[in-house]
Structure 1
Amino acid sequence: MTLINSPGHAHDRPDAARTASCACGSFGLAVTGEPGHVYTCHCLDCQRATGSAFACRAWFKTEAVTRIDGEHRTWRRLGTGGRWVEHVFCPTCGSIVYVRGEVLPDTIFISVGCFADPSFATPTAAYWTSRQHPWFALPETTRSVDAQ
C-alpha cells in the first residue's frame, strides 16, 4: 500500500491516525495519538544522517504504530553514548522515516517532515545545541541541552 504525503491533522482528533511517508511515497507508517515529545537534535551524527543542519523528530510509543507499509532498509550505528541507533529508510529515495534506539527500545522517533503537516507540534527541546548552527533559532521556551 502506498501512503500519500498529506497532513494528518490528528491533533484535531486524538484517536485519529497520522501518516508519515518517505519522499517517493513507497515506504510509510501510521500512528495514533499525540507524540510524547518533539525535539531537534544538532549533533554531528544527525546532521550527517539527515544532510541538514539538524534532525527534527517526534517520539511515539511503539504500540501507537498501527501499520508500516513498503520496503525499507535499516542502518545501525553506535551513538555518542556507545549504544546502537537504527535509521530506517526507503531504499528508493533514501528518506529516513524513523529511528529506533537501544536507550528507549519501546519508542519510535519519527522524522517530523515525513508527516508533511505544517501544523505539527513545535519542538519542546533541542539537543546538542553546542553543535547548533548559529543562524538557527527555536522559540525561547524550547529547552536547550548542550550535549547528551
Structure 2
Amino acid sequence: MTRLATCACGSIRVTCASEPTKVSVCHCLDCQKRTGSSFGVAAFFDRDTVRIEGPTKSFSRQSDSGFPVTFHFCPDCGSTVFWKPQRKPGAVAVAVGSFADPDFPAPTQTVYSERRHSWLDMCD
C-alpha cells in the first residue's frame, strides 16, 4: 500500500510505499510544543520506502537519548510533516495527521506517558 502525507498547503509531499513499522503516541513536552496539542503521533517507515518532494526547512534538537532529531517543516504553511531520528538512521517518522486519513493504522505504543494530560485515555 502507498500512503501520501502532505503539509497543509501541499508543497511537501511524502510518499510512503510500505506500511509503517510502528505508530507511536508521544506525550513528551517537546512534542506537545511542536504540535501545539497534548501529544504527537508518528508513523515510522523504513527510509528506503519513503520519497520526499518539496522544499523544507529544518530544526534539530537533542532527544532524551542524546541523539539529535531533525524535524522538517514547510517554509510556507509551517506544518511539520516528517523527521529523521539520528538514533534510527534507517527510519523516517511522518506525522500521522499529515496523511489526513481517519483509517490510518492505530498507534501500537505510547511513550512519555508520565507526561500525559490527565484527561487523556488512549493506548493504555
State the TM-score bracket (shorter-chain normalisation).
over 0.9
Within 5 Å, give how 1:6-25 maps onto structure 2.
16-25=1-10
Of 93, 98, 104 in structure 2, the residue corresponding to residue 109 of structure 1 is 93
Gaps of 5+ in 2: none
Percent identity between the two aligned chains: 40
Q: Normalising by structure 1, report the TM-score.
A: 0.81
Structure 2 distance, partners of 1:139, 1:19, is 25
Q: CA deviation at 1:58?
A: 0.4
CA RMSD of aligned residues (A): 1.0
Structure 2 distance, partners of 1:109, 1:124, is 14
Q: CA deviation at 1:118?
A: 0.1
Larger radius of gyration: 1
Gaps of 5+ in 1: 1-15, 141-148
Spell out structure 1 runs of 4+ moving beyond 2 A.
none
Higher RCO, Cα 8 Å, sep 6+:
2
Q: Normalising by structure 2, report the TM-score.
A: 0.95
Structure 2 distance, partners of 1:33, 1:102, is 21
Q: CA deviation at 1:79?
A: 1.1
Q: CA deviation at 1:139?
A: 4.0
Q: Would you say the 8 A contact 2:31–2:40 is kept in 1?
A: yes
Which residue is 2:82 aligned to? 98
Which residue is 1:144 aligned to? none
1:107 alignment partner AA: A
Q: CA deviation at 1:131?
A: 0.3
